[in-house]
Homo-oligomer: A and B are copies of this chain.
Amino acid sequence: MTAEIESNFLADIGRRVRALRADQDLTLEQLARLTGISAPALSLIETGKRDARLTTLAKIAAALRVPIRALLEDQTNDASTGGDAPAEGYDLGDYL
């Protein structure tokens, strides 16, 4: 339950990193040099197997020249799936 949502959360981030890297035709080695993060570490993050630190994700976002926000959530709002709507329109789907 909790662990599943967490791994989905990390896997989503990893997919976005990988997609952005592919858009710029960068290899893991190249992104590793740009970020200072090793290629194995990047691979773990992209495959959702590592719970990276905030500054680590910030380095990746900077190297890809996108705001960190672009790595975290879909910019398309979707309808709520759970229960209560917190007054403004967010649902967040109750991460954890």
Contacts and interface: CB of A to CB of B under 8 A. Distances in A.
Interface of A: 6, 9-10, 13, 35-36, 51-55, 57-59, 61-62, 65-70, 72-73, 75, 77, 82, 84, 86, 90, 92, 94-96
A69 to B, nearest CB: 5
B92 A59 contact: no
A95 B54 contact: no
21 contacts: A9-B54, A9-B55, A10-B54, A10-B55, A51-B55, A52-B53, A52-B54, A54-B54, A55-B96, A59-B96, A61-B95, A62-B94, A66-B92, A67-B73, A67-B86, A67-B92, A68-B73, A68-B95, A69-B69, A69-B73, A77-B84
